[in-house]
Structure 1
Amino acid sequence: MVSQTRPRRRADAERSIARIVAAARARLTEDPDATIDAIAAEAGVGRMTLYGHFKTRADLVEAALSAALEAGEAVLAGVDLEGDPQEALDRLLASSWSLVAESAALLEAAQGVLPSGRLRELHADPAKRVEDLLRRGQREGVFRTDLPLPWLVSVIQYVLHGAAEQLRAGNLTEANVAETAVATVNAVLRPPA
């Protein structure tokens, strides 16, 4: 009977953790300063249960950001990056700006509690995908080569985060935010005349 109880507790714990992480993603996306109490309430658990799984707010924020990045990675892995590098980048940007919109608020929450090295580590896979695509486009003469590649990757991230911020501020709409972000990135990457 003891062996049956342990797996059940494990399954219950996993469901509880999943609810807490989902609640943290939702609340921190709405408000990067959301309290532990608000997150626990959203998850339908008490503070003690939450702290039983996540010892600190930083642990919870990291779990929420990691979950968002994992979900984003699943979406972005399905984007066709073959063919013309410019068209591939347009597809990638159109698919990723809404993911950035969610993770921007989570990132804001994380910046207050996680070291910058850890944040870079969590964003390494999406950054590598963009970097590889830019490198291919540079080799093919589609993207500029007069600026450092890491800088261009950062500029793309800044543009996407800026688009998400402008959407939240009401300066862009759902209808034009992706188009605006893609046009801005394309202008930045165009080789100088």
Structure 2
Amino acid sequence: MPVTTGKRADAQRNVAAILDAAAACLVRDPDASVSDIAAAAGVGRVTLYGHFASRTELVDAVFVRAVTRAHEALDAVDLTGDARQALARLVASSWQVIDESRMLLVAAQHTLPPERIRKLHENPMRRVRSLLERGRAAGVFRFDLPADWLVAVFYTVVHGAADEIGAGRLAAEAAADAITATLLAAFTPPGDPVPQVTATG
């Protein structure tokens, strides 16, 4: 039993090291090779393949971990009260999470099928959909467009901001307010004035 337990602990440490190294490598280069990742993790290719049968499986595991951590972090965001203020708070937290993991998303897009990436976003998208539905019920978000489309707009704008920051065309400190202003303009019912709500208070 002690030998088995020891081997299991070693395996867990190897997996953790591989995932950490893979995340770091993929952030630097979304097309990083298995050899690069194994070297960064301090393990051989044989050891890496003993835990992940293919590069695709490894990228999937890294992306699953990143999405799970992001979802857990966003669970702490207060989404009660006025839906527009809640949207601003969600943006203030979520854009940074997405910005930090944008290169992992690029790696996933290079490797995984689109339906897999969309499936992994289901939990975060449920959070946004719930907020949008609450705002629609209160009359502060538009209901003339499908909810699915509004959710897609949210993620498109946030990911777009992350890309603009990476390209140096948008200052990181201005991103949250820019995203919030853009989304409120898109979500406000036609004919209603767009509220001036900032993500930074």
**TM-score under structure 2 length normalisation:** 0.91
Tell me what 2:122 maps to: 124
Q: Quick check: 1:170 aligned with 2:168? A: yes
**TM-score under structure 1 length normalisation:** 0.94
Q: Deviations over 1:84-127 (max 9, x none)?
A: 11111111111001111233222221123222222121110000
> What pairs with 1:29-178 in structure 2 (closer than 5 Å)?
29-178=27-176
Cα offset, 1:184, TM superposition: 1.3
Aligned partners of 2:43 and 2:161: how far apart in 1?
34
Aligned partners of 2:25 and 2:185: how far apart in 1?
35
Aligned partners of 2:33 and 2:179: how far apart in 1?
32
User: Helix, strand or coil: the match of 1:106?
Assistant: helix
Aligned partners of 2:71 and 2:25: how far apart in 1?
21
Aligned partners of 2:23 and 2:91: how far apart in 1?
22
Aligned partners of 1:178 and 1:38: how far apart in 2?
35
User: Helix, strand or coil: the match of 1:188?
Assistant: helix
Tell me what 2:16 maps to: 18
User: Helix, strand or coil: the match of 2:173?
Assistant: coil
Question: Structure 2: which 5+ residue stretches go unaligned?
Answer: 192-201
User: Helix, strand or coil: the match of 2:142?
Assistant: coil
Question: Structure 1: which 5+ residue stretches go unaligned?
Answer: none
Aligned partners of 1:99 and 1:62: how far apart in 2?
18
Cα offset, 1:145, TM superposition: 1.0
Q: Deviations over 1:51-108 (max 9, x none)?
A: 1111111111111101101110111010011111111111111100111123322222
